[in-house]
Structure 1
Amino acid sequence: MRHDTATLLILLAAVALLGWFAPDVVLIVFAGCLLAVALRAAGVPLARYFGMAPHWGVMIVAFVALLVIGLLAWLGFNTIANQAREFVQAAPRVLQSVASLLEGLPGGDWLKQHASPEAMTPNAQAAANVALQGAWGTLGALGNIVLVLLLGLYIGADPTLYRSGALALLSPGMRPRAEATLNAMANSLRGWLLGQMFAMVVSGVLTFIGLWALGVPLAGFLSILTAIFGFMPYIGPVIGCVPAMLIAASADPSLVPWVIALFLAVQNIEGNFLTPMVQKQSSDVPPAVLLGAQALFGTGLGFLGVLLAAPIAAAAMAAIRVSYVEGWVEDPADADEKRLIRP
């Protein structure tokens, strides 16, 4: 018992120090683990079906996913690039239209002044600084993406190696409960990913159909943005609605209420029917917990924290349930028996 307590305190201290001094590293490693869960969710059944080793299934899924993404990007690159370019070029005009609508209201005069073409045209030095910062930021983001891809591929191909290494850091008495906790976290993340990916695809398709029917410009680009932002529950759809509202306001201000109604309808369909239907038996995280996690991680870790707050909350709830509630608060033997007979 003494060894268990000492081990637990040492590990908690190490995790706290790592999160304090290198929080981005923790988030990148977690993102790699999340990708590994996704790859194994598709790769293991594929390998079982064809009678091959699981790591070959993971490799095939990763290769096919990269191939499909590359093919879609190649086929739709010109269309998406042109719409993105039109979106950037339309930004000053959109802001001017919004400023005209808000003229006389608090903040309207300030927006009109700063949204003028003269105010938005930077000098050469400022433009060079922005370009340099953008280049460094892009390189850093690409480097992080490569790290996440490599981590996801290596961990997904052979998770037993890394799980055994993590369990070896614990005292023997803690290892069974720790292994059960890791399994519960993996199952929770798998269920969350399934529901969220399904909801993202459906919301993107429904948004495109609605924007196209309303005649809003750049419907394809805006629907892709909506689907991407949909990875962040509750906050993402609100962020995705803003560009659509601005573009609609610049084209025809009367479209703005219809765009808002469209996004409310899509999110109601997703939140009340699609996501609960998929996540009912896999990962059920209360909305207040998700919003609290997004606020906490967003304040301390920025956009990457907001992006990963929901899966972190899903994994944390599974870990608390198995390691704390069932492993300490309740009788561990009774908790294990309940888990075995749970349908």
Structure 2
Amino acid sequence: MGLSVQQQAKYWGVAIAVFVLALWFLGDVILPFVLGGAIAYCLDPIADRLEKLGCSRVLSVAIITLVAALFFLLLVLLVIPTLVRETTGLVQQIPTLIDKLQATLSERFPSLEDQSSTIRQQLDKLAGLVQERGGELVNTLFSGALGILNVLVLIVIVPVVAFYLLLDWDNMVAKIDELLPRDHVDTIRRLGREMDNTLASFIRGQGTVCVVLGVYYAIALTIAGLNFGLVIGFVAGLISFIPYVGALVGGVLAVGLALFQWWGGIPLDDGGTATNWVRIGIVAAVFMLGQFLEGNILTPKLVGNSVGLHPVWLLFALSVFGSLFGFVGMLVAVPVAALLGVLARFGLEQYRDSRLYQGQSGND
């Protein structure tokens, strides 16, 4: 005799609660396994494609590992040092930028020279806060990042976990399928396929969009001559998974830095200076072109319309999971939000088919 719906709900509810509590207590301990699993999930289609071309699973994983190792080596040698150097330089320049902003505002608005002015007082407080806390904040961020993503995790644990998960991915999926409750196996498989499509569209597709946009912004801003263009491009690409937010934040930062860099940058014959609006316009055009490419080419081709995740839902998921589980929560927030979206749509379908929604008319 099978279990009733109420009994099944009770058992599965307990299992989910235990799983959530395990995440809560383990915290950052499971970080390398989360990263390794995410990498294996993203690379599994490539391994499947290589198998179709005649390679064995072991050879396919070996080829992927070799290419990934070479790519990571190039990042370590070429990109990461420059990125760290520019980030440090940008943080060190923040007090100078605030002083320059204060001088510019004082020139345009002489009333700000009054020490009792509210705006002048707030600017002074902001400059003092940045000078006092800026270095401490950066040191905290870097030390926290190194404490979580230390060299051992990056070089050893994550690649090893990803290698073995990728090697046994198909076997793990088959084993999980065998453990599914037989009464609901068809429904769970259908939901699993929908979740996989959603995750594939968002993580693989949107991840590719973020990488392409980040590389484009970094290279274009650097060619345009913007100081710290690599950092701005990296930040804009990193948060491009939230529609319009990446371009908005990156555009504001880039145009703001461009104004500081090229305001009064052209010497005149009379000894004065003029603003280089052409350079500033080029920086703004970089992000306008990026938005056009993202909305009309990259997202439709790589992501499609099957994700169905609202930007507000993404921000909410990032806030909740980040506050509950810290850095690991931030990593799993987006895929979990995608999975919950699939379950929510399934729940709405069941609700519309139920007597709770249809009432007595559902029996007609």
TM-score normalised to structure 2 length: 0.69
Provide closer, same or farther for how the CA distance between residues 314 and 50 of structure 1 changes in structure 2, counting only shifts above 3 A: same
Unaligned stretches of 5+ residues in structure 1? 332-343
Aligned length: 325
Measured in 1, the distance between the counterparts of 2:129 and 2:23 equals 43
- CA-CA distance at 1:295 after TM superposition: 4.1
Q: Is 2:116 the counterpart of 1:112?
A: no
Q: Confirm or deny: 8 A CA contact 2:236 2:247 kept in the other structure.
A: yes
Q: Is 2:294 the counterpart of 1:270?
A: yes
- Letter of the 1:289 partner, please give it: W
Q: Is 2:87 the counterpart of 1:87?
A: no
Q: Confirm or deny: 8 A CA contact 2:191 2:342 kept in the other structure.
A: yes
Give SS of 1:51's match. Answer: coil
- CA-CA distance at 1:64 after TM superposition: 0.9
Matches within 5 A, 1:13-162: 13-22=17-26, 30-53=34-57, 55-76=58-79, 79-80=82-83, 82-101=85-104, 104=112, 109-115=121-127, 119-120=131-132, 134-135=142-143, 137-142=145-150, 145=154, 148-162=158-172
Measured in 2, the distance between the counterparts of 1:70 and 1:19 equals 32
TM-score normalised to structure 1 length: 0.73
* Counterpart for residue 268 of structure 2: none
Measured in 1, the distance between the counterparts of 2:230 and 2:141 equals 29
Q: Confirm or deny: 8 A CA contact 2:24 2:325 kept in the other structure.
A: no
Measured in 1, the distance between the counterparts of 2:216 and 2:139 equals 36
Q: Confirm or deny: 8 A CA contact 2:95 2:131 kept in the other structure.
A: no
Matches within 5 A, 1:1-343: 1-2=3-4, 4-22=8-26, 30-53=34-57, 55-76=58-79, 79-80=82-83, 82-101=85-104, 104=112, 109-115=121-127, 119-120=131-132, 134-135=142-143, 137-142=145-150, 145=154, 148-163=158-173, 166=176, 171-208=181-218, 210-212=220-222, 214-231=224-241, 233-241=243-251, 243-253=253-263, 258=281, 259=283, 262-280=286-304, 283-301=307-325, 305-321=329-345, 324=347
Measured in 1, the distance between the counterparts of 2:88 and 2:47 equals 37
Unaligned stretches of 5+ residues in structure 2? 107-111, 264-274, 355-364
Q: Confirm or deny: 8 A CA contact 2:28 2:148 kept in the other structure.
A: no
Q: Deviations over 1:202-233 (max 9, x none)?
A: 32344246534643223334323332333555
Measured in 2, the distance between the counterparts of 1:144 and 1:232 equals 28
Q: What is the aligned-residue RMSD (CA, Å)?
A: 4.1
Q: Confirm or deny: 8 A CA contact 2:242 2:311 kept in the other structure.
A: no
- CA-CA distance at 1:38 after TM superposition: 0.7
Matched-pair identity in %? 25
Structure having the higher Rg: 2
Measured in 2, the distance between the counterparts of 1:241 and 1:12 equals 42
- CA-CA distance at 1:36 after TM superposition: 1.8
